[in-house]
Amino acid sequence: MSTQRKPGVFFKTFGCRTNQFDTQVMMANLRDFAVVHDESEADFVVINSCTVTNAADSSARNYINQVKKKSDAKIVFAGCGAISKGKELFEQNRVFSVFGHSQKQNLNAILKQSSPTFDLGDLKQIDDTVVEDFIGKSRAFIKIQEGCDFECSYCIIPSVRGAARSHKPQTILRQIEKLARNGYGEFILTGTNVGSFGKDIDYPLSLLLQNISRIKGVKRVRLGSLEPSQIDDAFMELLDEPWMAKHLHIALQHTSDEMLRIMRRRNRFEKDLALFERIADRGYALGTDFIAGHPGESEKLWQEAMQNAQMLPLTHIHCFTYSKRDNTASAAMKEEVRGDVAKARRAELVELIKAKNYDFRKRCTTPLQVLVESEKEGIFTGYDQYFNPLKIRSNKDLKHCWIEVDDVQREKNANFKTL
C-alpha cells in the first residue's frame, strides 16, 4: 500500500542563534509535512528572517526573488522581518503567507491553509516546544529567554521581539535532558538578551546553570551574549566549575564613554574594565560585540576607544560597522561616519584583538577540551573551552568526538594538532 508523499518544507534561516532555535521549533511542530534539505524538493519555503539591519532586510528580499525565479514553491515569511517588513511583502504578493514569532508552533496548521494568511500574533508569547534533535549540528542551542528591555539607540530588536521574558525553567531542563539522552554534550544558552533570564520569574541565571550541570550527559555549558550589568556575584561563583566553558561573550558595543552615552548603552568603560579584569584573572577568554562608525564617532573618540580597547583583556570580537536601521533613534542622528572610515576602524580593532587572542593562546598551558564539529579535506575542526578553534589532521573520523589535547602547534590564526 503506497503511502502518500508528505509535501516538502525547506527552511531558510537568517540571523542569530535564537533564530536557529526558532527554526528547530518550527521543524518540531510539523506533522503533515516533511523537512527537505534541498530547495528543489520544496512545496513550501519557510524564510525565518532577520531584520537587525537594512542589509538584513535586503538579504531576505533577494532570497525571495531567487526562490521565485527557480521554483513554484509557496513562500512563507516568518521571523523578525515578518514584524518589520511582512505587511509590505504580503501586500505586494511577494510571499504567500506571513506569521509572527508567536505563531511558529502553529506552522503545521498555517501550511495546511489553501488561501494566503497574515497573522503577526503578539510579542508576549513564550514557546513550550521541546526540540528532540538539532538537525545537522553537534552542539545544541537552547533558547532560555525572549525579547529585550534595553533601549540601545541603533537597535530595532525590542520592537520585533517584545519585552524580555523567560522560558519556563522546567521546559529548559526537560529540553536539555532530551538532547543529552540523544548524545549532545555541549549546550549553548541563547536568547535575545540572555542575561535578562529569570528577572521576570525570580529565578537567577546562576541557579539555572547549576541545575543544567546536574543533568546526566551535560559536559559543557556556553552562554550567548551577556550584558556587563547582568553578571552578579552568584554568577561569578560558578566560573571555576568544570562544566562552564572558559569563555564569555559580554557585549560592550563601544569602549568610549561618550559613544556609549550616544548609543544609549547602560555600560561604562571603567566598570567594564574592572569586570573584564576580574573574569580574565580566573583564566577566561573574553569576547565582545563592538559597533564601529556609529554616528558621533569622531576621530578623537575613536582614538580614545582604541586606547581603552588596548587595556581590555579581550580575546574575541564581533566587530560590525554601523548599519543604519530605519525607525531607530540612531537613524535620525546627523554626525555620520564615512563607510570607508568605519571599515578602516573595524579592521584596526579586529587586528588588535587577533593579536591579543594569539598572545592568550601562547600563554595557555592547560589541556584543551575540544568538541570536534566538522571535517573538510581531512582536516577536522572543533572548539576548545576558550572558544578557540583547533584544526586536527587525523586518519580517524573524529566528528562529534570530545578530545583532550595539549602541546598543540600555536599559529597566528588557529591551533593545530596531528593525531
Give me the residues that bind ligand SF4 (CB under 6 A), please. Answer: 148, 150, 152, 155, 157-158, 192-193
Looking at beta carbons only, is 150 or 416 nearer to ligand SF4? 150
CB of 194 to ligand SF4, least distance (A): 10
CB of 63 to ligand SF4, least distance (A): 23
Nearest to 78 by CA among 136, 43, 123, 118: 118
CB of 320 to ligand SF4, least distance (A): 11
Looking at beta carbons only, is 148 or 314 nearer to ligand SF4? 148
Helix H or strand E segment including 145: strand 145-146
Identity of residue 76: V
CB of 10 to ligand SF4, least distance (A): 28
CB of 163 to ligand SF4, least distance (A): 11
Looking at beta carbons only, is 9 or 252 nearer to ligand SF4? 252
Considering Cα of 57, then 59, then 65, then 70, what sign does the dihedral take?
Answer: negative
Query: Which strands sit side by side in the sheet containing 220-223, from one edge to the other?
Result: 140-143, 186-190, 220-223
Query: Which strands sit side by side in the sheet containing 74-79, from one edge to the other?
Result: 34-35, 8-13, 44-49, 74-79, 97-99, 118-119
Looking at beta carbons only, is 24 or 53 nearer to ligand SF4? 53
Give one DSSP letter per residue of 332-362, joined into a string.
Answer: G-S-PPPHHHHHHHHHHHHHHHHHHHHHHHH
Looking at beta carbons only, is 75 or 80 nearer to ligand SF4? 80
CB of 331 to ligand SF4, least distance (A): 14
Give one DSSP letter per residue of 376-415, joined into a string.
Answer: ETTEEEEE-TTS-EEEEE-SS--TT-EEEE-S-EE-SS-E
Helix H or strand E segment including 220: strand 220-223
Looking at beta carbons only, is 192 or 415 nearer to ligand SF4? 192
